């Protein structure tokens, strides 16, 4: 099953340094999914980037009477390596990653001379995300995207740096960025992996006597094989 299963239902809302409040243009250098070494069963989506431009933001305080603390303009310089890490077990993970995926695919469209607005949330499926995070190399490597990092406070009053993504990197930097290959058609045309529910429904349609059968131990491959043999 895809690590990004369920992303089509979400709404958009390493040694590298974490992003601090501010606005960035970032070059994508690596996209991967890794298993946590400390928490069994926990996976992280890691987006490794290279800073191409940075405009500092501010750090707010829980006590709103205290003025926000500006992030120094020298906090990041061109060439610095940064990373965005998403705990995929959190409820907000698919929404956050879908926003990233949409920005990347819109950036690909823009680089290809297409209308970015033609790429919609509905096209950001588990198959698309699996392609972007392919272990043998992402087609998004080398692409430039914009990111805005800002601090929010959790229900436990803990500061948390949230990141929003966009394909719009600004006309002032666009001419300096090298074009990247056009993987848009290949990514969006990738065959969608059938879900367990769809496969089970198709099996039961052909064999109604299996309606009460426990398919729990069956993975996607075994379900597909069962369906093909009916």
pLDDT tens, position by position, 205-224: 778 777 777 777 777 677 77
**136 and 24 within one domain:** yes
Burial class of residue 157 (count of CB atoms within 10 Å of its CB; 0-12, 13-18, 19+): exposed
User: Which residue shows structure tokens 């610095």?
Assistant: 80
- Considering the domain boundaries, does residue 1 fall inside one? no
Binned at pLDDT 50, 70 and 90, residue 14 comes out as very low
**50 and 69 within one domain:** yes
Binned at pLDDT 50, 70 and 90, residue 182 comes out as very low
pLDDT in tens, 135-165: 877 888 999 999 999 999 988 899 989 999 9
- Considering the domain boundaries, does residue 85 fall inside one? yes
Judge contact between 143 and 214, C-beta under 8 A. Answer: no
- Considering the domain boundaries, does residue 71 fall inside one? yes
- Considering the domain boundaries, does residue 205 fall inside one? yes
**137 and 106 within one domain:** yes
* Predicted local distance difference test score (pLDDT) of residue 147: 95
Binned at pLDDT 50, 70 and 90, residue 39 comes out as confident
* Predicted local distance difference test score (pLDDT) of residue 171: 43
pLDDT over 60 at 180, yes or no: no
Neighbours of 3 (CB within 10 A): 14
**54 and 17 within one domain:** yes
pTM: 0.68
pLDDT over 60 at 11, yes or no: no
Greatest Cα pair distance in the chain: 69
* Predicted local distance difference test score (pLDDT) of residue 6: 59
């Amino acid at each position: 099953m895809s690590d990004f299963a369920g992303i089509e239902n979400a709404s958009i809302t390493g040694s590298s340094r974490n992003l601090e409040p501010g606005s960035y243009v970032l070059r994508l250098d690596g996209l991967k999914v890794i298993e946590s070494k400390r928490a069994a069963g926990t996976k992280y989506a890691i987006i490794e980037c290279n800073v191409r431009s940075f405009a500092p933001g501010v750090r707010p305080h829980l006590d709103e009477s205290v003025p926000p603390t500006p992030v120094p303009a020298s906090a990041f310089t061109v060439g610095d390596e940064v990373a965005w890490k998403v705990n995929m077990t959190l409820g907000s993970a698919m929404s956050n990653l879908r926003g990233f995926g949409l920005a990347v695919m819109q950036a690909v469209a823009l680089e290809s001379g297409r209308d970015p607005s033609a790429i919609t949330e509905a096209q950001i499926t588990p198959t698309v995300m699996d392609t972007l995070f392919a272990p043998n190399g992402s087609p998004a490597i080398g692409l430039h995207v914009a990111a805005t990092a800002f601090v929010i406070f959790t229900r436990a009053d803990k500061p948390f740096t949230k990141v929003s993504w966009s394909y719009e990197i600004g006309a002032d930097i666009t001419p300096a960025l090298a074009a990247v290959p056009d993987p848009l058609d290949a990514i969006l045309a990738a065959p969608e992996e059938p879900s367990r529910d769809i496969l089970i429904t198709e099996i039961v349609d052909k064999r109604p006597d299996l309606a009460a059968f426990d398919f729990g131990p069956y993975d996607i491959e075994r379900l597909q094989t069962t369906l093909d043999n009916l």
